[in-house]
Structure 1
């Protein structure tokens, strides 16, 4: 297949990293097939940008097989929900049958054999599964997304609050747009990265007191980090109707976070993605409207 004829399959194509990856590839003149759950406004925007839309589910082997037809390279991204191992098996089998050359796998920084989180342990298993195929495979393990700040943010009485179970742990929040640039680069040039495992970080490692100060300086309002217990966090998320699988995952990665699993910085975003990573200040400035109101998952103060 001539390089100009390459077809890239992007799963999770209406999500943050998938959508960004699809748009980058399209902007660079490449063919993209976007696997989406449904025909909606988000998928129609991708179609208008030039993507071929495949409606299907990663848990449907026939749908994944159809989506893989004539694909050169594919990006696998599964939500924090049950079925990751099954979906990865379907993805791998369909890719091998279709003669796909390479894959980029969205894993997570806490992925390891002895992880307390069921999802994190499954990600580790899925990495090993993909490594056993003939695909050129790269795994990315991001720390917490910068976008997560918008989900657990509370705006109350003109001030901002982050009530989270992260103690004095540290990380360098990484924006999804920066991750998309890395994913696109890995899809376009897979050979140097075969079997690589890349952790992805923003530019500055901070604890949540530091993050709150950075947000405050950009938003021009007081922002407070109020540490809570893992048990308080899990109870609040359960009360909000968050699925048990996700609550179990987040509760265990909170402990990992406190023990330094999410910490660190490196040059991967700039070296592979071609641009320095986005800082907290830059992310908040670019997304100020998201902080005008509380996020969907904020932890309310008891009896407030």
Structure 2
């Protein structure tokens, strides 16, 4: 039986793949976008119903959720996450959705120094208190993190991974693998409601080990050179990132050093029947991102 799913963040690293996975299985998908542009047009061409709205506008959220079976909630690293979560929970309860899959993060906890990470912890509590069936996902760093300008530019131009991550480790996880998992949860709400899933890739790596793998795939020597928190802050500010994002990145760097992002896959392979891709597989598909001049 075909069902209708609401996907927020539908043009993002997980949303676009979640939408495709559901459409490929014959489901109806409604995509909530912030504005009409070429990306919204691409969603329509792919087969989605597109609605324009804002997650911090309650009436927009109500309209988006009306008539849907389940929903994926993905809010960017900007202020007002808790507001958006409350609006979404209320609208989802009114619409009678069977499940919300809530994109949180692995550093979400009450004692988090990052304002964004702590807001994610509070957001989880809001959904839990609402009584709407919810599954929380808490991914470690995305594989796509390597392609973010403040990381990629240093790789391409200087042959360095320059981050204040010390000797910490994590198992990179791609947005596409997370999307397969999100789609599986949405399709099976009773099985996953009330659960929290940390999400990881299959192999833990240090930044030095990631640098070695990058060297192999782009045929250029890449070295990990740890930087200081102060040096990292200066680099982030050079990209004119909002203060909320900068504060978050600086705080989770300390979390990374302390092992908060460590762990390897269990949930994705178990739930979807397919293990997530390795960082080598991700790099093979995205080699071009690290070759062109920044």
Q: TM-score, normalised by structure 1?
A: 0.93
State the partner residue of 2:198. 199
1:286 paired with 2:272, answer no
- Please say if residues 154 and 162 of structure 1, whose CA atoms lie closer than 8 Å, have aligned partners that are also in contact: no
Alignment match of 2:48 (pick from 48, 51, 54): 51
State the partner residue of 1:171. 170
Offset of residue 154 of structure 1? 3.0
State the partner residue of 2:104. 107
Q: TM-score, normalised by structure 2?
A: 0.96
Offset of residue 15 of structure 1? 0.6
1:30 paired with 2:50, answer no
For these two proteins, the number of residue pairs brought into alignment is 292
Larger CA deviation: 285-294 vs 77-86 = 285-294
Offset of residue 155 of structure 1? 5.8
Unaligned runs of 5+ in 1: 296-304
Offset of residue 157 of structure 1? 7.9
Cα distance change, pair 34–158 in 1 and its aligned pair in 2 (3 A): closer
State the partner residue of 1:270. 269
State the partner residue of 1:120. 117
State the partner residue of 1:83. 80
Alignment match of 2:36 (pick from 36, 39, 42): 39
Q: 1:35, 1:144 → 2: CA distance?
A: 25
- Please say if residues 153 and 294 of structure 1, whose CA atoms lie closer than 8 Å, have aligned partners that are also in contact: no
Cα distance change, pair 81–206 in 1 and its aligned pair in 2 (3 A): same
State the partner residue of 1:302. none
Offset of residue 278 of structure 1? 1.1
Cα distance change, pair 157–147 in 1 and its aligned pair in 2 (3 A): closer
State the partner residue of 1:21. 18
Q: 1:294, 1:202 → 2: CA distance?
A: 28
Q: 1:130, 1:237 → 2: CA distance?
A: 32
State the partner residue of 2:5. 8
Q: 2:67, 2:95 → 1: CA distance?
A: 7
Q: 2:123, 2:130 → 1: CA distance?
A: 11
- Please say if residues 156 and 291 of structure 2, whose CA atoms lie closer than 8 Å, have aligned partners that are also in contact: no
Unaligned runs of 5+ in 2: none
Return the structure number with greater helix share. 2
Q: 2:111, 2:155 → 1: CA distance?
A: 39
Q: 2:249, 2:55 → 1: CA distance?
A: 23
- Please say if residues 168 and 207 of structure 1, whose CA atoms lie closer than 8 Å, have aligned partners that are also in contact: yes
State the partner residue of 2:215. 216
Q: CA RMSD in A?
A: 1.4
Q: 1:157, 1:107 → 2: CA distance?
A: 30
Name the SS of the counterpart of 1:227 in structure 2.
coil
1:70 paired with 2:91, answer no
* TM-superposition CA deviations, 1:140-188 (whole Å, max 9, x none): 0000000011111236787632111101100001000000000000000
